[in-house]
A and B are shown apart, each in its own frame.
Chain A
């Protein structure tokens, strides 16, 4: 849920939006926000499934240290979504285990 109005921070500035896709579904994101924030705003609470125990994971530290929030972004697995900014047309996918590479050049 977005914090639209806040007693200290004021109203959420009207920013530009970009469209991204999450597991094939189009989602609206605010320009400049991290992928994770956009997913959270839409109530999505899972970034990946772990390798061994097949457990769901979301974010834990929120600042790029714990690496729990990694997802497949534009075909590249293990991207930390809490510190990676959304881009127009970005393709975000839930990472199953180690994920799968779509491209070999990056």
Chain B
């Protein structure tokens, strides 16, 4: 038997953060993971994260993963990899496989950070080779560097479906369509906008009916659904695809919690059954803590904060930190609250409050949301989120869009960010203080177009790739449009390109004027093209050149 003070199960963002905090506080911490490499899902996340500076905003998930691993090592966390935890007995004893035999680990405190599993969707043909979860495709291309298919149908337009679609394009695949059973996408509009301008159609109110093929997927039939999610006869369409990716939600992975016998609540907004926990992330079993997706599906930033909270609380309970614990935990809770602001976060915030309430034994009443500013704004942006393509009218009303007058006077940033998501790297990127997000991190970016000189530094800083540069004064007949472009190959200066609109349609010929890709852009190159003047408001990217 191995004895430690704190054992953390799962070395993803939550588990790593928990282990780091607890070890820094002075506790002897053992971090366990069944995989050969730590990091959980972080090393698949090659995109820049949303959030504020405190949340590693605009840093790619892979790089956050590396930082956490360094911090874990520096803080003295002992890490066991390739060690499956196959049992939890009571609230102190874990069963593991190590050195080819079953062993037990006894810990004074145990933190479960086991994450989530991907939901399934069954349809005729879903067992054929070529049907896989979106996470599987992401693992293959971003970790193992093999492309799972050439022509992909993505089922589900939540953030995972949208992000993995984008990453399939980046890895050289083709996404034939993204379909979504709801009448609008579930993920952020900026994620949708990236793949829309790459020409990927997003079909809402559509589901998959069947995958066809003998040995592997050769085609898929999709069908439109009505408000009751029932297929509408006669709307079937057959798409030639070799891969079907399923991105239909996540479920907290809490087997060890069930086994130990801690209390659970069923909360659909958190992904199903979740272990009850208090303000310190402690479950109904004393000494057993939870953090991250196991306590409800959120995203990596929240998982890291919950991990920190659990790590601090477990260390505090062992007598470390003393007075400091209260203020440290308060800081983390404040950051967690800020991540759960805005129309996307508030549902999770209420669900979390209900979870805490149930844990206290007082079922918190599900109150209807306040009709506050945020809700009104959500209504306003409802149309835009259907498939992520903003209309010119909507853009004109956005606080990040310069006036026509300002546009005519020369180079200026154009911020096409219309949803209240917790994200603010654009503010810090502007050397002239022309962008503000206030009072909360979920407010929309406001552009002070008079201060903006069109330097373009905000373009690569925006994790949503939603900022562009427009210069109507470029030449008497041409406008310059600059946009972020994270694909290979990069176009060469002077070459002619096909300029596309927000839906990926070719609308004009353009000429590449500049390709900027310095290290500080962190692999988000910015391309500037000259196009006929009348397309200044329309062109937002270029058609990607042939497959590598």
Give chain A's interface residues, CB within 8 Å of chain B. 1-9, 12, 33-34, 36-37, 40-41, 45-46, 50, 55-65, 68, 82-83, 85
Known contacts A2-B146, A8-B523, A61-B118; 14 further A-B pairs (Cβ under 8 A): A1-B172, A6-B145, A6-B170, A6-B171, A8-B486, A9-B46, A9-B145, A37-B144, A37-B146, A45-B130, A56-B215, A61-B133, A62-B133, A62-B137
Q: Which residues of A contact B137 (CB under 8 A)?
A: 62
Please state if B145 and A12 are interface contacts (CB–CB under 8 Å): yes
Whole-angstrom CA separation of A34 from B519 in the bound complex: 32
Please state if A5 and B117 are interface contacts (CB–CB under 8 Å): no
Within 8 A of A (CB), among B451-508: 486-488
Within 8 A of A (CB), among B45-71: 46-47, 60, 62
Whole-angstrom CA separation of A36 from B141 in the bound complex: 12
B139 within 8 Å of A (CB atoms) = yes
B548 within 8 Å of A (CB atoms) = yes
Whole-angstrom CA separation of A12 from B488 in the bound complex: 14
**Residue contacts A-B, CB under 8 angstroms, 17 given:** A1-B146, A1-B147, A1-B150, A2-B145, A3-B146, A7-B170, A9-B145, A12-B145, A36-B144, A40-B146, A46-B129, A56-B128, A58-B130, A58-B132, A59-B132, A61-B136, A63-B136
1/0 contact string of B400-431 vs chain A (CB within 8 Å) = 00000000000000000000000000000000
Q: Which residues of A contact B133 (CB under 8 A)?
A: 60-62
Q: Which residues of B contact A45 (CB under 8 A)?
A: 129-130, 215-216
Please state if A58 and B216 are interface contacts (CB–CB under 8 Å): yes
Please state if A34 and B144 are interface contacts (CB–CB under 8 Å): yes
Whole-angstrom CA separation of A82 from B46 in the bound complex: 20
Instruction: Please judge, given known A-B contacts A3-B172, A45-B216, A58-B130, whether A8 and B146 are in contact too, CB under 8 Å.
Output: no
B101 within 8 Å of A (CB atoms) = no
Set A8, A40, A55, A64: member contacting B140, Cβ < 8 A: A40
Please state if A40 and B148 are interface contacts (CB–CB under 8 Å): yes
B76 within 8 Å of A (CB atoms) = no
Q: Which residues of B contact A63 (CB under 8 A)?
A: 35, 135-136, 139
